[in-house]
Chain A
Amino acid sequence: ETGVTQTPRHLVMGMTNKKSLKCEQHLGHNAMYWYKQSAKKPLELMFVYSLEERVENNSVPSRFSPECPNSSHLFLHLHTLQPEDSALYLCASSQGRGQETQYFGPGTRLLVL
């Protein structure tokens, strides 16, 4: 138990669907992150929120839309995805003071048909 939870754990969606991934951290951290992990590729940073403000957007397509309503919750809204978006989506959090450890959630395994 790392203190970071994600729901759902598995998701299958069609290309025309709209769905949302949820992440919650119980560690009192100020920074939260979305990563994409595809098979045999490095973890790719997608978005970073620091104190509920988006501070990084790594050229992610607009079909991925993050939301951070407070420092404990992070969402990733998905719409009109492509099959190549199928991957493991990981959420992480850190204290938000610099080069400190990130704590990861278990991820959402997404399959786009």
Chain B
Amino acid sequence: GQNIDQPTEMTATEGAIVQINCTYQTSGFNGLFWYQQHAGEAPTFLSYNVLDGLEEKGRFSSFLSRSKGYSYLLLKELQMKDSASYLCAVPNPFSGGYNKLIFGAGTRLAVHP
């Protein structure tokens, strides 16, 4: 089976750095996705990691350790607009020619002035 865990809520201060963790258990592994979702809006793609290590994309970075079943999303220089839910997701490796994503419950991040 597959299981994904991430903290329910986090708070941080504008301008600070925050790390959102995700641990997963899967019977196979085909990478890990991070999505951002503002309240009442569509989830939007942030990153996809399939190899170990850190991938940086502007203020956002994503890290993966396959041996530990662990990923984190690092947000730097936080802005108020970063207040959103952050969803961790892994594909079911047996789903063939489409992407059957298994999502975590999401981490709701509140950024305060």
- Closest chain-B Cβ to A47's Cβ sits at a distance in Å of 11
In the bound complex, CA of A109 to CA of B39 (Å): 12
Contact with B along A1-17 (1 / 0, CB 8 A): 01010000000000000
- Give the number of residues in B that approach A within 8 Å (Cβ atoms): 29
Q: Are B42 and A31 closer than 8 Å at their CB atoms?
A: no
Contact with B along A42-54 (1 / 0, CB 8 A): 1101001010000
For residues 79 through 113 of chain B, which have their beta carbon under 8 Å from a beta carbon of chain A?
87, 89, 91, 95-106
- Give the number of residues in A that approach B within 8 Å (Cβ atoms): 29
For residues 40 through 99 of chain B, which have their beta carbon under 8 Å from a beta carbon of chain A?
40-45, 48, 50, 87, 89, 91, 95-99
Cβ-neighbour of A103 out of B30, B45, B96, B98 (below 8 A): B45
Q: Known contacts being A55-B96, A99-B91, is A43 close to B103, with CB within 8 Å?
A: yes
Cβ-neighbour of A55 out of B41, B98, B105 (below 8 A): B98
Which A positions have Cβ atoms within 8 angstroms of B? 2, 4, 31, 33, 40-43, 45, 48, 50, 55-56, 88, 90, 94, 96-107, 109
Can you report 30 A-B residue pairs in the complex whose CB atoms are below 8 A from each other? A2-B42, A2-B44, A31-B99, A33-B98, A40-B105, A41-B105, A42-B4, A42-B105, A42-B106, A43-B43, A43-B87, A43-B89, A45-B101, A48-B95, A48-B100, A50-B98, A55-B96, A90-B42, A94-B99, A98-B30, A98-B98, A98-B99, A99-B91, A99-B99, A101-B33, A101-B45, A104-B35, A104-B42, A106-B41, A106-B42
